[in-house]
Structures are given as structure tokens and as C-alpha cells.
């Protein structure tokens, strides 16, 4: 049964190869079209549309001027949100609007969207940026009916560079060269990691051959607007690195750690060797001294025994048989004792061999169990959308983590679990090394089709909680191999944590607060 299930799971990913999980495509799945429909006495009298981006599963940011008619005529203007994937559009309602910043917050009344993160770090002049949205001139060339405006489809991307930041009517604006047009309003400007750096809002006129430039409301204005609206959001302040750059930096960090470990091990081994040599020298001196004392005592006893034997011979010559027997017996006993002492003299190397055995036994690796607190390693991570707070981990017997999630040990001696949620479009691969020193999280931000395949594989062999059943563990391992086969070759995000032993109470408290 286990072998059949493993074969079935292995074949599932072959149905369709996984597409590359690039960060801009991942951010595109958070982009929506925002539609306004004006109604008078049941008839459509006006239609408008722009772009927006989800900053929570149910909340979308767009421009105020995109939804201004809905704010002005709430009884006559309906709001609609058209996601980039799926088969449905959703009704929306206006939550907050700031006409001075030209920002608005819209909530969908059903459905969920993948939320994008806001970049809160510095943006260098000349940095590559990408505008995502639904430009009107593309719609005019491709749309054949009104239904095309409410049918989910992938947003258009346009690449350019960030020029500088300027204040326009008291609002911080990013000036950039990514081409946008009417319809891009409210859509995001993102960096190469797919984080929101601004919200596109306007373009310059290109009269008399002038080159056009675009304006995006700066991220700091966006975060202030969201804070005023009481809306939570995800944010990341780390510089965007490509995965190749992150790999190179991690290799450099690993090599530096390996050199430091090698130097520390060399110093430790040298100190241990010196300690062993000193202990061996002391043991040899003590053994030699004991040996020499034993030999000297044996010699003394032998001499006394020989003298006693000689006295016995003398008494025998004098016909004093009683004294002859006594002296001869004492002499023989002393000579025998001397022989025994000499034969049982100490071995100078016995203690050294014992020390060597003790050292080799102490070096044997042990499986990590217990409570750990893991802290992010920015120099070895590629952080795009996730929080990097400390992670508490409690490892139990047999790979049961935090008392609820079963991990399996792989060929690389790491414990691993692949998590496939029901609602979020993200697959997470979490693993920890056998020594409990490093915790690693890799996240794949996936399209709807790849996410559906991963869920199908998980559903074929559901495992909840922890188990010690060998067949269930074998099924879980086969399932995880199959899910890995359905994933793109490179994750969108890799978080590497350094773990240290922590008190059980501290870890339990942190877990309770999750």
C-alpha cells in the first residue's frame, strides 16, 4: 500500500510542469482591477476602472480618484473588484478615502486574495522598478465587450527605473520611467522582489516630443494612510537581492563560518592534544614511578629472600634443622613474592589508552531534542514578504515539532515538513538540522494552478498531528517528495535562522502567543 501511494504521489506532479516562481509574477497575483458602475433607475449610465493591490486577504489599496464617484454617490455607484486569477469578480465597499494623498481602501465582501508586502527601506536612484496594472490603451486594443473588463486576467507589467522623490502638493511622490497609462491608476509600483514601493497615480504629458515620466505615491505616504485607517499590513525593510545574489552571499557566510569553525576546531584540537599529551606524560611518569617502586621492592625482597635462603643453608650445615627450615621457608616466600611483584609491575600505557577511548565516546553526535529559540540570519537569507521575528521551536521524540506538526528526516539528515495551506497561495518548506542549530524556511508564492496541484497531493495522504506509525511516516515522506516535485526549482523567499537552547517556559510562552 505504501509503495503504491508513493508511486501515485510521484506521478501527480508530472501532469503539468511548475512555472517559475518569480517575484513579479507573485506580486501580480495580488493586483486587481477596480471597477465603478454608475446606475440610475436600474440602467448603467457610467463606467470607470483602475487598478489596485491587495494589502490583506480582503482589503485593496487604490487611488482615491478611481473610486471618487462611489464616495460621492454611494447609493448610485457600485464598486467591483476583479482579481488576476480565478473565475469570479467580487463586490467591494469603500472603507477609507484620502483625497489629499489620492489613496483609498476597498474591502471585498467575499473571496480572498494573496496580500503583497510594502517595502519600507531606502530606494536608490536608478533602481529597477516595475509598474503592474490594467492600462486603458491595452484594454482598448484587446477588449471586445464589457465582459472583458470584469473577467480575471493577468495585469500588464512595465519596467523602468526610479529617478528621484519629489513633493507634489505636500505628498511625497516617486518619479519613475516605467510606462503607465490611464487604467494603471491605483496599481502598484514594485521593486524586483515584488514589494510595493509606491502606488501609481499620474503621468506627465509628452507634448512636443518630451519624454513621459510617471508619478507614484511614495510608500511612506501609503503606510501613513493605512495607519490612519487602522489597517494592518505586511512590510519588509531589507534590501532586495536576487536569489543568485542571496546564494552567493550565503555561500560566503557559510565559507566564513566554516573557516572560523575550522580555526576554532584546530585550536580546540591543539588544546585537547596538548592536554592529552600532558595527561599521558603524567600518567607515564606515575606508571614508571610505580613500576620502578615495584621493581625496587621486588629486588629488596629477592635480596632478603636470598640471604634468608643462605642462612638456611648455613643452619643446615650445622645440623640445626629447625632453623634451617624456618630460614629456608622465609627465603623461598620472599623470593616468590619478589617474582610476583616483578611479574605484576604496572604497564605505563594502560591509562593513555583509556583516555583515548573516553575522548572518542564523547565526540559521538546526538539527536537534538528540547526547546529552541531561533533568530534570523539576514546575511544568509533572502527576505521578500515575511516577518523575521524570533521563532520558538520545541522538538520532541521522533520529529514531533511544537507538539502538533510531524517532521520527517531526509537523506541530508535534516527534519522537514512541507506546509500547504487551504487559503493562502503559498507553500512553505520548513526544515531543521539534526543538531538543532539551524532552522530554514523556504516559501513559494504560487499561481492558482500550481497551488491546486499541491493541495491535491496533500489531500491524497492527509496527516494531522504527530505520529510514530512507520507506515504513516513513510506516506508523509512520499507525499513531501511529490509536493517538492510540483514546486518551481527556486523559492521566492529563504529565511535562515540560528537556533540556541532556550528554557521550556520561554518557548511555551512564545508558542502560546502565536
Per-residue three-class SS string for 356-383: HHHHHHHCCCCCCCEEEEEEECHHHCEC
Instruction: Please report the pLDDT score of residue 101 as a whole number.
Output: 96
b/e for 444-482, b at 16 or more Cβ within 10 A? bbbbbebbebbebbbeebebeebbeeeeebbbbbbbbbb
Q: Is the pLDDT of residue 338 over 50?
A: yes
Mean pLDDT of 248-275: 86
* In the predicted structure, residue 295 carries a pLDDT above the cut 60: yes
pLDDT at 21: 52
CATH code for residues 25-238: 2.40.10.120
Do you know the residue count of the chain?
514
Say whether pLDDT at 126 is over 90: yes
pLDDT band at 35 (very low <50, low <70, confident <90, very high): very high
28/426 Cα distance (integer angstroms):
14
pLDDT of residue 186: 97
Confidence label for 293 from pLDDT (cuts 50, 70 and 90): confident
- Grid coordinates representing 370? 528540547
Least confident piece of the model among 134-148, 327-341, 351-365, 478-492:
351-365
Q: Which residue has the higher pLDDT, 506 or 107?
A: 107
Task: Please state, in angstroms and rounded to a whole number, the distance separating the CA atoms of residues 133 and 154.
Answer: 9
- DSSP 8-class letter at 187: -
Across-strand partners of 406? 400
Rounded to the nearest integer, the mean pLDDT of the chain is: 85
Quick check: 25 pLDDT over 60? yes
pTM: 0.75
**C-alpha Rg value of the chain to the nearest Å:** 39
- Span 67-88, mean pLDDT? 92
- Is residue 94 scored above 80 in pLDDT? yes
pLDDT classification of 420: cutoffs 50, 70, 90:
very high
Residues 42-70 have pLDDT tens digits of 777 788 999 999 999 999 999 999 999 99
Cβ atoms of 202 and 195 closer than 8 Å: no
Is residue 418 within 8 Å of 484, Cβ to Cβ?
yes
Cell for 212? 513621459
Rounded Cα distance, 10 and 136, in Å: 44
Number of other CB atoms surrounding residue 178 within 10 Å = 22
Rounded-to-integer distance, Cα 444 and Cα 118, Å: 18
Would you state the pLDDT for residue 299? 77
Q: How large is the angle between the packed helices 243-317 and 321-343, nearest 10 degrees?
A: 170
Hey, is 157 helix, strand or coil?
A: strand
Q: Which percentage of the chain shows pLDDT scores above 70?
A: 88
User: How confident is the model over 109-118, as pLDDT tens digits?
Assistant: 899 999 999 9
Which range among 194-208, 215-229, 341-355, 497-511 shows the weakest confidence by mean pLDDT? 341-355
Amino acid at each position: 500500500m505504501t509503495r503504491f501511494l508513493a508511486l501515485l504521489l510521484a506521478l501527480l506532479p508530472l501532469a503539468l510542469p511548475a512555472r517559475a516562481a518569480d517575484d513579479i509574477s507573485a506580486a501580480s497575483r495580488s493586483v486587481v482591477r477596480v471597477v465603478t458602475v454608475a446606475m440610475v433607475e436600474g440602467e448603467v449610465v457610467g463606467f470607470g476602472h483602475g487598478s489596485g493591490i491587495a494589502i490583506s486577504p480582503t482589503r485593496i489599496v487604490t487611488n482615491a480618484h478611481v473610486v471618487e464617484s462611489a464616495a460621492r454617490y454611494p447609493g448610485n455607484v457600485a464598486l467591483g473588484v476583479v482579481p488576476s486569477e480565478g473565475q469570479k469578480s467580487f463586490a467591494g465597499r469603500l472603507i477609507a478615502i484620502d483625497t489629499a494623498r489620492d489613496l483609498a481602501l476597498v474591502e471585498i465582501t467575499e473571496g480572498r486574495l494573496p496580500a503583497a508586502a510594502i517595502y519600507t527601506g531606502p530606494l536608490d536612484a536608478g533602481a529597477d522598478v516595475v509598474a503592474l496594472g490594467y492600462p486603458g490603451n491595452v484594454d482598448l486594443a484587446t477588449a471586445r465587450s464589457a465582459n472583458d473588463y470584469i473577467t480575471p486576467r493577468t495585469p500588464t507589467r512595465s519596467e523602468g527605473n526610479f529617478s528621484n522623490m519629489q513633493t507634489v502638493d505636500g505628498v511625497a511622490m516617486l518619479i519613475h520611467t516605467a510606462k503607465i497609462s490611464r487604467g494603471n491608476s491605483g496599481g502598484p509600483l514594485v521593486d524586483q522582489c515584488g514589494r510595493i514601493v509606491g502606488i501609481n497615480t499620474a503621468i506627465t504629458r509628452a507634448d512636443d516630443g518630451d519624454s513621459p515620466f510617471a508619478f507614484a505615491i511614495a510608500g511612506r505616504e501609503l503606510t501613513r494612510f493605512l495607519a490612519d485607517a487602522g489597517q494592518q499590513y505586511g512590510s519588509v525593510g531589507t534590501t532586495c537581492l536576487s536569489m543568485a545574489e542571496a546564494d552567493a552571499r550565503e555561500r560566503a557566510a557559510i565559507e566564513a563560518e566554516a573557516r572560523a569553525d575550522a580555526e576554532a576546531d584546530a585550536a580546540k584540537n591543539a588544546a585537547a592534544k596538548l592536554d592529552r599529551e600532558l595527561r599521558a606524560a603524567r600518567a607515564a611518569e606515575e606508571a614508571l614511578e610505580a613500576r620502578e617502586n615495584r621493581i625496587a621492592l621486588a629486588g629488596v625482597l629477592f635480596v632478603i629472600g636470598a640471604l634468608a635462603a643462605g642462612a638456611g643453608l648455613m643452619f643446615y650445615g650445622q645440623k640445626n634443622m629447625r632453623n634451617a627450615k624456618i630460614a629456608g621457608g622465609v627465603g623461598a616466600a620472599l623470593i616468590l613474592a619478589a617474582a610476583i611483584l616483578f611479574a605484576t609491575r604496572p604497564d605505563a600505557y594502560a591509562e593513555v589508552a583509556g583516555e583515548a577511548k573516553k575522548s572518542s565516546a564523547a565526540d559521538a553526535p546526538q539527536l537534538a531534542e528540547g526547546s529552541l529559540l531561533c533568530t534570523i540570519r539576514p546575511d544568509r537569507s533572502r527576505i521578500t514578504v515575511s516577518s523575521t521575528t524570533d521563532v520558538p521551536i520545541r522538538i520532541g521524540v521522533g520529529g514531533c515539532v511544537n507538539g502538533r506538526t510531524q517532521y520527517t528526516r531526509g537523506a541530508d539528515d535534516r527534519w522537514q515538513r512541507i506546509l500547504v495551506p487551504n487559503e493562502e497561495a503559498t507553500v512553505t518548506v520548513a526544515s531543521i538540522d539534526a543538531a538543532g542549530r539551524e532552522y530554514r524556511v523556504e516559501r513559494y508564492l504560487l499561481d492558482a494552478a500550481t497551488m491546486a496541484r499541491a493541495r491535491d497531493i496533500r489531500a491524497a495522504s492527509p496527516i494531522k498531528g504527530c505520529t510514530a506509525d512507520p507506515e504513516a511516516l513513510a506516506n508523509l515522506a512520499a507525499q513531501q517528495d511529490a509536493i517538492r516535485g510540483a514546486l518551481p526549482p527556486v523559492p521566492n523567499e529563504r529565511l535562515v535562522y540560528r537556533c540556541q537552547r532556550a528554557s521550556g517556559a520561554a518557548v511555551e510562552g512564545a508558542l502560546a502567543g502565536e
